[in-house]
Chains A and B, each alone.
Chain A
Amino acid sequence: MLILTRKIEEEIRIGSDITIKILSISDNQIKIGIDAPSNVQIFRGEVYEKVVQNTINASHSISDSKIDLSKYKIKKVQ
Chain B
Amino acid sequence: MKINTQKFGEIEFPDDLVINFNEGPFGFEELKKFVLIKPDDSAFYWLNSVEKPEIAFALFGLRIIDENYPQIDNHEAFGIVTLNSDPLKVTINMRAPIFINQDNKTAYQTIFDKDNYSLYYNLFTE
Contacts and interface: CB of A to CB of B under 8 A. Distances in A.
A71 interface: yes
B28 to A, nearest CB: 7
A67 B111 contact: no
Interface centre among B56, B64, B82, B113 (most CB of A within 10 A): B82
A72 B124 contact: yes
B96 A74 contact: no
A72 to B, nearest CB: 4
A50 B117 CA distance: 13
Contacts of B55: 59
A73 interface: yes
B26 A58 contact: no
A66 B58 CA distance: 14
Interface string A42-78: 0110011011111111110111111111011111110
Contacts of A16: none
Nearest to A60: B82
B111 to A, nearest CB: 5
Contact of A62 (B25, B84, B95, B121): B84
Nearest to B87: A72
A72 B86 CA distance: 11
A76 to B, nearest CB: 6
Contacts of A56: 27
Contacts of B125: 72-75
23 contacts: A41-B111, A43-B111, A48-B111, A50-B119, A51-B93, A55-B96, A56-B27, A58-B57, A58-B82, A58-B83, A58-B93, A61-B58, A61-B82, A65-B42, A67-B83, A68-B87, A71-B126, A72-B87, A72-B88, A72-B125, A75-B65, A75-B125, A77-B66
Interface of A: 39, 41, 43-44, 47-48, 50-59, 61-69, 71-77
